[in-house]
Each structure stands twice: as C-alpha cells, then as structure tokens.
C-alpha cells in the first residue's frame, strides 16, 4: 500500500448521486508530499462528490492550521486556513488537465489520487508574506536581523516591537559600519536625485 492510497477515489465504483469523504492532513502527510510551501499542519478536508452521467463534480471544504517559517525570524508561524475548492473530473482516453479546475483521467483506470490536489489547495491558502504579528518574532533573531538590514521607517515599528530599542543609526538610514562598495552605489543615487 502506497503513502497516498487513502486519498485515492475509485470513481467508477461510485453510483450516480452524492458521496461524501473526509480526510485529515497531518504532519506525516505534509512530510510525505514534500512540498516547499507547507511542511506541518493539521487540516480537515470535507469532500462531496456528485456523480452525473458524464462527470464527477468534487467540492472541497478545507479548514485547519498550517505551520510555515516566519520570513523575518525563521521560527514556526501558525496560520489558520480555510478555503473552498472545486474540481471536475471527466473520464477519457488519457490523463489531461483541461484547466485549473477540470481534469481528464483514463477511463480504464477510473480512479484519481487526490493527494497532490489537496496539498495544492492548502498551499494556495497560505499568504505570500509570512510574518509574526508585532512583538511575536524570536527576539534574538530580530535583534540580529535589525543589525544587518536597512529598511524604510514604515518597518521600524514592527522591528522595534520585536527587538526592543531601535538603533538610531538604522532609523536615520545611516548604518554605523558602511561597506565601501555600497557607498559608491549610494553616490550614483545621490547624483540622480540632484
């Protein structure tokens, strides 16, 4: 039995009408699928399959939590997720994806493994930016990061909450120790602004 056999739905064996399935995606699922975006979590999936004479309409309701790395401090960040997704499966001669929502599977197989689709649905709910709320980042990592970055004053409040006192040399956009290579580039910017 394969790692993802539990997510295999034998469509040919389903009678016309509505069928319901439930899945629980936990850490082992995310580790086994080896996707880059999400590697830990606890997610419930409620699947309704409506079989008609020509296709199978699959409606997914997904809810739970996933853990991703914080972009700022690299600690785990817990994100609640919730989504509704749809997939239409048709039987045909060979496998094909007609669109992001329509899949054709070989009629002689008559089954579809949903593991990768489930992972994609979960991964698509994760926002592009993964950052703890102000004051929740790892304080030691935030203070190290603050020493080595230059940023706009809009970000200073979030970093101040995470790392303690604000370094005045960074707020004024004047790093205490400058790299001569960057000084030369700043000269070009200053010339363009004049």
- Per residue in 30-50, pLDDT (tens digit) is 999 988 888 899 999 999 999
16-33, pLDDT tens digit by residue?
A: 999 999 999 999 999 999
Q: How many CB atoms neighbour CB 35 within 10 A?
A: 15
All domains of the chain in start order, with CATH:
5-125 (3.30.450), 133-170 (no CATH)
141-188, pLDDT tens digit by residue?
A: 777 777 777 655 455 455 555 544 444 444 445 555 677 777 777 777
pLDDT score for 71: 86
pLDDT score for 168: 44
């Amino acid at each position: 039995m394969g790692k993802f056999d539990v997510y295999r739905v034998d469509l040919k064996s389903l009678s016309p009408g509505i069928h319901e399935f439930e899945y629980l995606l936990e850490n082992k699922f995310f580790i086994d699928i080896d996707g880059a975006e999400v590697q830990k979590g606890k997610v419930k999936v409620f699947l309704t399959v409506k079989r008609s004479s020509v296709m199978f309409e699959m409606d997914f309701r997904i809810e739970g939590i996933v853990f991703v790395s914080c972009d700022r401090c690299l600690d785990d960040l817990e994100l609640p997720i919730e989504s509704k997704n749809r997939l239409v499966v048709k039987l045909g001669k060979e496998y094909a994806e007609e669109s992001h929502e329509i899949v054709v599977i070989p009629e002689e197989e008559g089954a579809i493994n949903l593991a990768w689709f489930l992972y994609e649905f979960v991964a698509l709910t994760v926002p592009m930016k993964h950052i703890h709320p102000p004051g929740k980042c790892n304080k030691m990592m935030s203070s190290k990061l603050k020493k080595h970055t230059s940023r706009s004053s809009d970000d200073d409040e979030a970093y101040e909450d995470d790392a303690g006192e604000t370094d005045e040399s960074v707020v004024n956009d004047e790093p205490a120790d400058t790299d001569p290579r960057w000084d030369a580039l700043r000269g070009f910017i200053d010339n363009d602004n004049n």
